[in-house]
Structure 1
Amino acid sequence: MTAKLLPTTVVGSYPQPDWLVDRQMLSKGVARVRLDLWRVAEPFLEQAQEDATLLAIRDMERAGIDVITDGEVRRESYSNRFATALEGISAGQPGEVISKAGLATAVPRVVGPIRRTHAVEVRDMEFLRRNTERLAKITLPGPFTMSRQAVNEYYKDDDEMVMDFAAAVNAEARDLEQAGADVIQLDEPWLRQDPTAAKRIAVKAIDRALEGLKAATVVHLCFGYAAIVKGEKPVGYSFLSELGACCADQISIEAAQPKLDLGVLADLAPKKIMLGVIDLADPDAETPAIVANRIRAGLEYLPPERLVPAPDCGMKYLSRELAFAKLKALADGAAIVRSELG
């Protein structure tokens, strides 16, 4: 991906401006179906999203981030834009799932075979490529996670549904690579929610989703957005070491807020690790020194060639001012450690 030691990156999302989205609606949860959170009328929405995307790109560049995204500015959530664009997903009444906390969430209904019939994020990637000379990453919801955020009303075998999601992701990923993506990332936070099913099908599905790609590939795991998931987070993943067998080049893990035991990194050799060193629950920006210490902790288990410093998760629920300050600390903290390595 790059010869630079400790290249910094973002997980995916960056704060959307208040003039673009209704942040009060956004704060109620992570959208699984389309909610129409936009404040800008349809005739002007695309132009407004492009303007906001440029703000996100320039902020990441100004902060000194090495591998940037488009901030996922055109998405209501990391997953719903792609998932609801697939054939086989009902455009009518959504389904409902009950979380472990007992909360009902509206989700897509799978009513036919899952197919990707048209590009969804390719124009986003083309816009990003036109507007930065830095390494560019784009993210897609992972097949296992999409299958767990839907009500299956068609497939007799859930694993068959997962694999059809994976084929749809792969078709999109191949086009994203052609559009100029240097890095393609799958967001798979639900791997830890159902480790039994994940152990049965997740690695096979991830490998199918990333099949044939030449771009660098990443699988991202987290414990949920700090703004949405309140309280203490687990200090370990119920599904992590198994990802050492998947074909992804990098594994992205949340480590700063949960104070993850970094000894688990030994199980993921020889993968590169996107290590979360920015705590998104902290209302203050880290100092570069704090970030440097967290990177040094990772280097106790990994050589610098295998460590990619990053925030714990997407930053969309932060204020833009705080997100920028945290990214600046990330870049400056990595520079401190890089200078120590010579």
Structure 2
Amino acid sequence: MSAKVSEKLFATTVVGSYPQPDWLVNREMLSKVVPRVRLKEIWRVPEAWLEQAQDDATVVAIREQEAAGIDVITDGEMRRESYSNRFATALEGIDIDNPGMVKSRAGTMTPVPRVVGKVRRRGPVEIRDMEFLRAHTDRAAKITLPGPFTMAQQAQDEFYKDPEALAMDMAAAVNAEIHDLVKAGADVIQLDEPWVRQNPDMAKQFAVKAINRALEGVTVPTAIHLCFGYAAVVPGSSKPAGYAFLAELADTTAGIISIESAQPKLDLGVLKDLAPKQVMLGVIDLSDPAVETPQTVAERIRAGLKYLPADKLIPAPDCGMKYMPRSVAFAKLKAMSEGAAIVRKELS
């Protein structure tokens, strides 16, 4: 990681999202669906004032992350209906008015972007988001994008008829966006690629190739995020104890691999497969509304240190923080920062 990001041992971060305020989104609707196409009815604020409201919510998310002691912060993804749909539906070649249908990770049929032409990036999608984040914090700042493999899996392809060709054009679009995000002040870029676990056989064919194309020429630290599904949707008892596609990510050009650990009680022996990457390790269980003590967080960090050197471990929550009550999310982040400080002091 860059000097600005790595100057502190166990520099804490978030996966990306932070709870959106109840006055901004219909949280009951949010809890029922992870939209792949646009879901404008989720917003409580009329469109004329929506951007202003999203800006205000972003300032709140930034300030709460700072107050909780987080070192590498995001904009909380306040402007997004889901982690992927904002970018995916902005691309040329996508018919957003007539969506397709694919089977979700939960096994249900879900409306998705329908690919009807060559996929290209029309223009900036998240650049203003990054500029706003950069203007409102002097801490290291990260921004997230959906990864090309996941976006290709979440689409109905009626043009390419070739999953790899679609993923590679998605990757080129992501790459163009990343370079503009770096110019806008991003210290870290994260690609969310949860679907490599959903379809590991296809992922083994070209996911690493697509990810590396998306990250081509990027000079700031980069991360690949995996997850087993949001705690709000997928109970911990149904989560596997290991990833079907993990060791393969050692071949990506990303320097950081982000994985859930706390809720699924991951066998941390898998961390050995990721050398020499840094690992963003989930040490906060988002399925449990009880707030961890700093000591519990410290124990989870120490468990990771059995397999990773201290400078390779980045404490983070498991993913899906946006679904939590904001007071709980804040308290959990504060406990995480304090837990990291305990272990940092032990090693100083």
What is the distance in 2 between the residues matched to 1:96 and 1:246? 30
Contact 2:37 2:96 (8 Å CA) reproduced:
no
Aligned position for 2:35: 31
Contact 2:250 2:277 (8 Å CA) reproduced:
yes
What is the distance in 2 between the residues matched to 1:267 and 1:117? 38
Give 1:102 shift. 3.9
Contact 1:174 1:213 (8 Å CA) reproduced:
yes
Aligned residue type for 2:176: A
**Would you identify which runs of 4 or more consecutive aligned residues in structure 1 move more than 3 Å?**
99-102
SS of 1:215's partner is coil
Contact 2:16 2:77 (8 Å CA) reproduced:
yes
Contact 1:10 1:314 (8 Å CA) reproduced:
no
Aligned residue type for 1:237: Y
Q: How does 1:73-112 map to 2 (within 5 A)?
A: 73-99=78-104, 101-112=106-117
1:237 aligned to 2:243? yes
Aligned residue type for 1:21: V
Aligned residue among 162, 165, 172 for 2:167: 162
Aligned residue type for 2:267: D
Aligned residue among 48, 57, 60 for 1:52: 57
TM-score, with length taken from structure 1: 0.99
Aligned residue among 262, 271, 287 for 1:265: 271
Aligned position for 1:283: 289
Aligned position for 2:221: 216
What is the distance in 2 between the residues matched to 1:134 and 1:161? 36
Aligned residue type for 2:30: L
Deviations 1:83-112 (A, max 9, x none): 000001102211111236541211110110
SS of 1:222's partner is coil
Q: Structure 1: 5+ residue runs without aligned partners?
A: none
Contact 2:35 2:81 (8 Å CA) reproduced:
yes
Aligned residue type for 2:49: F
RMSD: 0.8
Give 1:314 shift. 3.2
Aligned residue type for 1:25: M
Deviations 1:303-334 (A, max 9, x none): 11100000011310001000000000000000
What is the distance in 1 between the residues matched to 2:260 and 2:341? 21
TM-score, with length taken from structure 2: 0.97
Deviations 1:52-75 (A, max 9, x none): 000000000000000000000000
Aligned position for 1:320: 326
Give 1:3 shift. 2.0
SS of 1:276's partner is strand
Aligned position for 2:300: 294
SS of 1:92's partner is strand
Aligned position for 1:308: 314
- Which segment is superposed worse, 73-82 or 23-32? 23-32
Contact 2:93 2:117 (8 Å CA) reproduced:
yes
Aligned position for 2:10: 6
Could you say if the C-alpha distance between residues 24 and 211 of structure 1 is closer, same or farther in structure 2, counting changes exceeding 3 Å? same
SS of 1:305's partner is helix
Q: Structure 2: 5+ residue runs without aligned partners?
A: none
Aligned residue among 110, 122, 129 for 2:134: 129
Q: How does 1:244-259 map to 2 (within 5 A)?
A: 244-259=250-265
Contact 1:128 1:136 (8 Å CA) reproduced:
yes
Q: How does 1:330-341 map to 2 (within 5 A)?
A: 330-341=336-347
| Aligned residue-pair number | 342
SS of 1:252's partner is strand
Aligned residue type for 2:272: A
Contact 1:121 1:176 (8 Å CA) reproduced:
yes
Give 1:231 shift. 4.5
Q: Percent identity?
A: 69
- Which segment is superposed worse, 89-98 or 290-299? 89-98
